[in-house]
Amino acid sequence: MPARLGDVTKPHAARWFDFLVETCPMRSCKQQLAGVGGPVICWFLAAACVSAASPRLSHILPRGMRRGEDHVLAFHGSRIGDAQEIFFYEPGLETVEIKAESDAVVRATVRVADDCRLGEHIAQVRTASGISDFRTVWVGILPVVDEAEPNNQFDAPQLVSLNVTVRGVIDNEDVDYFAVDAKAGERLSVEVEGMRLGTTLFDPYVAILNDKRFELAASDDSPLVQQDAVAGVIAPDDGRYFVEVRESAYGGNGNCRYRLHVGTFPRPTGVYPAGGPAGAQMTVRFVGDPKGDIEQSVTLPGEPTLDFGLIANDPGGAAPSSNAFRVVAFDNVLETEPNNSAADAAATELPRALNGILHAAGDVDHFQFGAKKGQVFDIECYARRLGSPVDAVIHVLDASGNTLIGNDDSRGPDSYLRFTVPADGNYVVRVSDHLQRGGPDFVYRVEIEPAAAALTLGIPRVERYGQYRQTVSVPRGNRFATLVSASRANFGGDLVLEETALPDGIHITADPMPANLNVMPVLFEAAADAPLGGKLVDFTARHADASQNIRGGFLNQADLVLGPPNQSVYRRCEVDRLAMAVVEHIPFKLEIVEPKVPLVRDGSLELKIIVQRDEGFTAPISVQFPFRPPGVGTVPSVTIPEGQNEVVYPLNANGNAQIGPWKVYAIGSADVKGSAWASTQLASLTVAEPMVTVAMPRSACEQGQTVQILGTLNHVRSFQGQAKAQLLGLPAKVTAPDVEFDSQTEQIVFEVAMDPSSPAGTHRNILCRVTVIQDGEPIVSRAGTAELQIDKPLPAPQDQPAPVAQTPPAEEPDAKPLSRLEKLRLEARQRKARQGAKETGGGG
Amino acid sequence: MRGRGDTMVRVAPEDTPSMAHRAGLPAKFVPATRNIVDGILRRRNVTDQDAPDTRSVMAYAADNTARTPVVLALLIAITASHAAKATDRTPTAVDVYPPQIQLTTSRDHQSIVVQAVFADGITRDVTDEAAVAVADVGIARFDNGVIHPVADGATTVAAEFAGLTATVPVEVAQSAVDRPVSFQLDVMPVFMKAGCNSGSCHGAARGKDGFRLSLFGFDPQGDYFRLTREVPDRRINLALPAECLLLGKATGSVPHTGGTRFDVDSPYFQTLLRWLQAGAPRDAGVIPAVDEVKIYPPGAVLDGPGASQRVIVRARYSDGTTRDVTALAFFMTNNDDAAPITQQGVVTAKNRGEAFVMARFETHTVGTHFIVLPSNLEFQWTEVPELNYIDTHIHAKLRKLRIRPSQVCTDEEFLRRATLDITGTLPTEEEYRAFMASDDAEKRKRLVDELLQRKEFVEMWVMKWAELLQIRTTPQMSYKSMLRYYNWLQERIAGNVPINQLVKELLASVGGTFANAATNYYQNETDTLKIAENVAQVFLGMRIQCAQCHNHPFDRWTMDDYYSFAAFFSQIGRKQGEDPREQIVFNAGSGEVKHPVDGRVMPPKFLGGDSPDTAGKDRRAVLAEWIGSTDNPYFARNLANIVWAHFFGRGIIDEVDDVRVTNPAVNPELLDALAEKFVEYQYDFKKLVRDICTSRTYQLSTVTNESNANDLSNFSHAILRRLRAEILLDAISQVTDAQNKFRGLPLGARAVQIADGNTSTYFLTTFGRAKRETVCSCEVSMEPNLSQALHLLNGDTVHSKIQQANQGNVVDQLLKQGKSTREVVEALYIRCLCRTPTDEEHAAVEKVLAEYDDPKLGLEDTFWALLNSREFLFNH
């Protein structure tokens, strides 16, 4: 486009933009580019016009869907143009069609089942070349309408019907008004999802106003939904009511999306009891709704389940989001008032979940249990985590009412403590609110069970706040390794991975994880003909001793919203399966050349890594060495330069490096239109004792002289042939030739030569490096350290005649080199002898 | 006669109300036709030459500065025609003070004062003229105005003047005993009286010339130590007491920076000498405390310059004894121009006015009310209707002062005044026309009731409370927290929560700063002592800051009071909330305040009240309960005063947050009545506002008569009040139909709705908006100044708002409605000034408009001139 490029009236960047629109080969991309206005976006898209590795997902739009309908979701991110599949972590969501619009946007038609669980769902894009971050999307029950600006004036609101979900955006200092018509006595409930959508730091405020602009109900935060808001009133009159939505501090930006549910549905703020035994059929009572309590029969899942919730239903509809509900392995105990003193506490067996409501301000509840000396119980209170207003404080009292232990905030606002029973007897658990508050929805639940072993696996973060490389993408015919971390609670011991169904064509290799480590390398390999595909894998490990019956699975937390102060996490989500996929072939393969010699303590080793490049692939490859045995260190990464096929990865071991055989790997990435990653095999690396150590005394001499530094060898292991010792770190203008020795040598001597201008002073950082060649490879270690003092010569005394040159007394023909101390002693002896001779002469 | 012409100066007192209304305002103020026309021309000049008319600007500033209320200046204009002088007349009563005389020990004595009261209320000091006699001279003797003991027993002393006699009982006890001299009871008061321990002398924090006394004697033990032990043998000399440095310096016999404080013959010298001669003893045993100090006579009305009245001061001690401390008391007056007082306690009338004459002894300050009238005054009170109890009390005081209140203002003035005062907005044209057209006799009451229901009323008071509660962002308070706090306040006020309930909720608040935003009160200020000071100032109207370091010099508060009050706030706990931005405030249940002088743990004690039982309770809740109850004598009075001040521009006690003994209410009966009503109304201040706004006093015209022309403090006429910054900006935005935009608030938010004290604009800052950095009521500046005038003339606010409005500017809109030029001018007058233009104004404006080619331009200039008129800027 020379004509365009020559157009001087356009800014430089804009001209480039035009150019790219014209030259981009992808039609859809061209359209996209023509539609956007900025050169920055233009560059971004230009790079994204072909499929690429390391896909990233930033957000999904719209932020919610309605149950029982098909919706087109737009997955926004980068390098996702080759999307093949959407991973949903729960049933009820099915991808009907998937279509890449550009490398940044993929549209997928998603069918939401009639019985799909309401609330947050997690989705992730699998592309032909990788797996993206996971993000959330919400499922609701009400028909969806879009916000229509302008609706910023109370006088000019957007009229919506009751029982809808409004999708809107709050821009800076934006206020959205919606008007609904309600009948007197009708329940008017609103719930807004903002922060929970996990897009950005958006703290919504919602209010229901009457036509005189007075707030009938307003909510900014709520224990039930944290920074989000719920509010409800019974309409006092027939008429028009107004719902105001804004950011709580009049902030906002284009990312501050919300879903506002407006309708006649129940919106209880609590459920009692807030948990039950797995598989139970029970009746619960929803509390805190403007219309009063709602009783509902429920059947609980057959297994203890985290993140379970109950949806309240009544003739007015269904609550837009669930009330959190614990499903555990043991039975409930419900409080029986009065239990305001330890004396009134009802006795119970353990393990149990104690359920109660702090009915009124100042209410304190007590429960009693019997226990034997030495038993250890975890006493954990669930209140705020279940959406209750209670800021729980728990205490354990002995039979005579003395407080033994207490806790306020060990689990955020909730409480937790471990109680070791001091003696056989009865004990009392006291539950209260930190601020002595109470109310009909002040529900709490204290679960008491013996401290139990628990195991959780994970993949350590690579990015401080992101999810990058916390999935497994194995290129066809290649390898991918990752660190797997394990968190052991209340037990110790080796761990082994359990067998599990992996995507077709993937093979896994891992050694047991030793008891003293909490990370291990795990290698995944894909056959060259493995089909492209992936799945969410139930990735589990168990105690190496199967009889211990301790096992645990994968858990990953993603920080969705961070904010002040200090990058605090406002919203996170969790997945319990590991996303794994076979991805397209990548044009390089890495391999560690296994060393024949060990890495010794205080030693170093140059690990050679070679790359097999596809024909024509010459890009530089950045290599990392993620797993380091204890005491082994190295640099963060090295690079195989463009066109070259090997690199040396320098490893070193400290004096306490853990001795033994280890499996290590390296992983490298190259820019294949996005970073494509492949690892080496799991290679053996042995950490061993050094062959020999050297003890060297302190030495001193004057500038311009030569001194011998003596090294006493300690042979830890014998070796064949000659070894070489070098002094490193000598001061300037000081030289010492290397010394060779064999496994029989006991002492070595470095002839250290000073120059008259060698720097005076004490030089401490002098190392003796010993290199032993074994099987043709060097074993290098830092065998000892030396200290060298360089003195300036004393000035010659001026008032005395120049010393008569004396022939020094002939040294004894002892070939033994003297240490500095020995020299000093010798000099002293000689001086004394001379003095004695003089005195003898004078007296004669 | 619709006298708004530039020749209209002042309405004669006999004018009918309608004439007074048309006359409206003093000529200095009224933006008469000349003003408007000048304004238009001035604007043209500005536009043409880009330079302000400096002369007009200066005139504006000078006019208004001159009219600013002068503190405590009370000049009463009364016509004099009283025929006879008081001295020539017969009094109706004669009183002897003190009402009882109690003499204990041989040196005790009591001076007396005899006051004659005449039929017209004038009083005269006749102590020297009256015949004073002791009934039993074997018990006591009268000598030169002073009663001395003779022997134990009881008798009476009688004073006879002009045929009238008054008698007071005298009791003498321990007449043979000489009370030993006491350091604390006798010596310390001498330091106070002689000024030795004042802040500029040895009471300074580092003392003076190497010698320090505790400021106003807050630390007697320390003072004793410094005199007798700090530099041994230097300050006192027990061998030669009369020669010691202490006495030498005080009498000036050795060089003394502070000069001679008293002479050798004075009782002060004798007291110190006796103490030294006794061996400078430290007080032993329990030292009686001063329970009460009284000043006599309780009041005086002096007839003309030169009339004098002596006052006496008596202290009552905790052991039941009394002492005449007239010689030891420190005398002050709050109006030197009317009633100056000597340190001997003699008031001599000077100019007309009223004064509060005070005596300070120990930590007690007491006062007595003096009125000085011109000689030969004739005054006839004409009955004025009283619409409610407010008028009753106001008129009672005015009668005393011989002042006649002004006439009632016009409907136009009332509509504008009440709408601005109650809602902070201007009446719209529709409201104006409806109100003026109504012939309902009760329409003013109805207007007040209607205005009180508007949300703007709530918002106005939210703004005022937000100032008192210092609602603003700080490093400890995020914007969200601040906004939650503001909304909490708004909800309370909108919900008509009784103010005492609101204060209880605020002071006893616990919980998260988001969840229970009232707790932000304790985030805004986290220093225990500062919190205590703020609470005292905002809710009790008292500035106790002085007492942090020494006993309050102008009030009764001691350091003990201060730290005992602060102890209510020593147990506030704070912890991180679930939201990272949130803090939770709770009762930690432990933590004490210690007295800085001796490290005593101070038990919580109400200011001027009891030490409550706080064991096991949240101390703040105990305090909040007391503050919001009738046990506390200050709260209801203070809030009533704050409400009053909003509607009159000055408090009954002024400043509203400077309640102290030495700053008395100008009409205590009115303040008490308002406080009583406030309590009766269950602290619903809306009802109090209704009482105030429907009183005749509130409806008075700004036009004065001869008797009240100089009254600025007794509410005998309305005082011109410049609109405060937020209301002025909102008014400009309202009449120009142009929306405001403030940081952190949606477009169109009114300035009174600004939640954050730190959010301001150039306009608001220039016009003195409070930054809410302190609780002081003085943060809101109502003073006019040059930059305000310049900003209105040249700044972008007025000009751009006239030009840019929502949908075409106002003039455009009015013209589009097909209005004639004359109708547009009238609409603009109603919008801005809440009145129609006079014929003269019409004529003058039309004359000027004729010079414009484009009438729209001329009308915009007229609009500009109206917005720059003083009539627009002031509430009148």
User: Cβ contact (<8 Å) for A215 and B494?
Assistant: yes
Average pLDDT over all residues of chain B:
86
pLDDT digits (tens, 9 = 90+) for A708-764: 999 999 999 889 889 999 999 999 999 999 999 999 999 999 999 999 999 999 999
Q: What is the mean pLDDT of residues A283-308?
A: 95
User: Cβ contact (<8 Å) for A218 and B478?
Assistant: no
- The answer to whether residue A550 scores a pLDDT higher than 80 is yes
pLDDT digits (tens, 9 = 90+) for B564-593: 999 999 999 999 999 999 999 999 999 999
Residue of chain A whose Cα is closest to the Cα of B575: A409
User: Cβ contact (<8 Å) for B491 and A215?
Assistant: yes
Chain B residues lying within 8 Å of A412, measured CB to CB: 578
User: Cβ contact (<8 Å) for B483 and A249?
Assistant: yes
| A35: three-class secondary structure by DSSP | helix
**The most confident of A5-9, A621-625, B213-217, by mean pLDDT:** A621-625
Contact A133, A79 (CB under 8 A): no
User: Cβ contact (<8 Å) for A218 and B510?
Assistant: no
Residue type, B668: P
- The answer to whether residue B71 scores a pLDDT higher than 50 is no
User: Cβ contact (<8 Å) for B745 and A212?
Assistant: no
Concatenating the DSSP letter of every residue in B201-238 gives TTTSTT-BTTB---GGGS-HHHHHHIIIIISTTTS--S
Confidence class of residue B106 from pLDDT cuts 50, 70 and 90? very high
Query: Nearest CA of chain A to the CA of B617: how many Å?
Result: 12
pLDDT digits (tens, 9 = 90+) for B114-171: 999 998 889 999 999 999 999 999 999 999 899 999 999 999 999 999 999 999 999 9
Q: What is the mean pLDDT of residues A279-304?
A: 96
As a whole number of angstroms, the distance between CA A561 and CA A571 comes to 5
Q: Which of B486, B513, B578 to mutate to test the interface with A (most CBs of A within 10 A)?
A: B578
φ/ψ of residue A841, rounded to 5: -60, -45
As a whole number of angstroms, the distance between CA A320 and CA A225 comes to 12
- The answer to whether residue A44 scores a pLDDT higher than 80 is no
ipTM of predicted assembly, 2 dp: 0.77
User: Cβ contact (<8 Å) for B575 and A409?
Assistant: yes
- The answer to whether residue B25 scores a pLDDT higher than 50 is no
Q: Select from B455, B580, B745 the Cβ nearest to the Cβ of A173.
A: B745
- The answer to whether residue A606 scores a pLDDT higher than 90 is yes
User: Cβ contact (<8 Å) for B581 and A565?
Assistant: yes
Q: Quick one: pLDDT at residue A830?
A: 85
Q: Select from B494, B511, B745 the Cβ nearest to the Cβ of A435.
A: B511
pLDDT digits (tens, 9 = 90+) for A50-102: 346 899 999 999 999 999 999 999 999 999 999 999 999 999 999 999 999 99
Query: Nearest CA of chain B to the CA of A770: how many Å?
Result: 55
Chain A residues 168-187 within an 8 A CB cutoff of chain B:
173-175
Residue of chain B whose Cα is closest to the Cα of A203: B480
Q: Which of A61, A59, A122, A134 is nearest to A90 (CA)?
A: A122
Confidence class of residue A807 from pLDDT cuts 50, 70 and 90? low
Beta bridge partners of B575: B584
Residue of chain A whose Cα is closest to the Cα of B586: A435
**CA-based R_g, chain B, Å:** 31
Chain B residues lying within 8 Å of A565, measured CB to CB: 580-581
Q: Select from B491, B581, B746 the Cβ nearest to the Cβ of A175.
A: B746
Contact A78, A103 (CB under 8 A): yes
Q: In this structure, what token pair is assigned to residue B593?
A: 């305040």
Confidence class of residue B488 from pLDDT cuts 50, 70 and 90? very high
Confidence class of residue B302 from pLDDT cuts 50, 70 and 90? very high
Residue B855 contacts A, CB cutoff 8 Å = no
The DSSP 8-state label assigned to residue A343 in this structure reads G
User: Cβ contact (<8 Å) for B478 and A413?
Assistant: no
User: Cβ contact (<8 Å) for A570 and B580?
Assistant: yes
Query: Nearest CA of chain B to the CA of A727: how many Å?
Result: 56
User: Cβ contact (<8 Å) for B510 and A412?
Assistant: no
Length of chain B: 876
Residue A800: other Cβ atoms inside 10 A: 7
Query: Nearest CA of chain A to the CA of B800: how many Å?
Result: 23
Confidence class of residue B680 from pLDDT cuts 50, 70 and 90? very high
Chain A residues lying within 8 Å of B581, measured CB to CB: 564-565
Query: Nearest CA of chain B to the CA of A175: how many Å?
Result: 7
- The answer to whether residue B334 scores a pLDDT higher than 80 is yes
The region of weakest confidence among A56-70, A72-86, A547-561, B34-48 is B34-48
Residue A515: other Cβ atoms inside 10 A: 14
Identify how many contiguous H helices and E strands chain B contains and give both numbers: 30, 24
Length of chain A: 844
Confidence class of residue A21 from pLDDT cuts 50, 70 and 90? very low
Q: Quick one: pLDDT at residue B39?
A: 57
b/e code B633-665 from CB counts within 10 Å (16+ = b):
ebbbbbbbbbbbbbbbbbbbbbbbbbbbbbbbb
pLDDT digits (tens, 9 = 90+) for A607-640: 999 999 999 999 999 999 999 999 999 999 999 9
Q: Quick one: pLDDT at residue B15?
A: 35
Q: Which of B458, B497, B579 to mutate to test the interface with A (most CBs of A within 10 A)?
A: B579
Average pLDDT over all residues of chain A:
90
User: Cβ contact (<8 Å) for B480 and A249?
Assistant: yes
Strand locations in B538-688, DSSP E? 572-576, 583-587
Q: Select from A152, A413, A437 the Cβ nearest to the Cβ of B746.
A: A152
- The answer to whether residue B89 scores a pLDDT higher than 80 is no
pLDDT digits (tens, 9 = 90+) for B112-128: 999 999 988 899 999 99
Residue B511 contacts A, CB cutoff 8 Å = yes
Chain A residues lying within 8 Å of B745, measured CB to CB: 173, 250
Q: Select from A248, A391, A437 the Cβ nearest to the Cβ of B480.
A: A248
- The answer to whether residue A178 scores a pLDDT higher than 80 is yes
Residue A409 contacts B, CB cutoff 8 Å = yes
Residue A563 contacts B, CB cutoff 8 Å = yes
Question: How many A×B Cβ pairs under 8 Å?
Answer: 65
Q: Which of B455, B486, B581 to mutate to test the interface with A (most CBs of A within 10 A)?
A: B581
Confidence class of residue B771 from pLDDT cuts 50, 70 and 90? confident
Q: What is the mean pLDDT of residues B5-20?
A: 34
Alpha-carbon distance values, B164 to A747, B94, B169 (Å): 130, 6, 17
Cβ partners under 8 Å of residue A803, min gap 6: none
As a whole number of angstroms, the distance between CA B419 and CA B686 comes to 15
Q: Quick one: pLDDT at residue B120?
A: 83
Residue of chain A whose Cα is closest to the Cα of B577: A413
Chain B residues lying within 8 Å of A221, measured CB to CB: 514-515, 579
pLDDT digits (tens, 9 = 90+) for B436-483: 999 999 999 999 999 999 989 999 999 999 998 999 988 888 889 998
Q: Quick one: pLDDT at residue A805?
A: 54
Q: Select from B494, B514, B746 the Cβ nearest to the Cβ of A220.
A: B514
Query: Nearest CA of chain A to the CA of B478: how many Å?
Result: 9
User: Cβ contact (<8 Å) for B580 and A213?
Assistant: no
pLDDT digits (tens, 9 = 90+) for B750-767: 999 998 888 888 899 999
As a whole number of angstroms, the distance between CA A353 and CA A350 comes to 8
User: Cβ contact (<8 Å) for A249 and B748?
Assistant: no
Query: Nearest CA of chain A to the CA of B483: how many Å?
Result: 6
Residue B448 contacts A, CB cutoff 8 Å = no
Alpha-carbon distance values, A227 to A384, B514, B646 (Å): 13, 10, 38
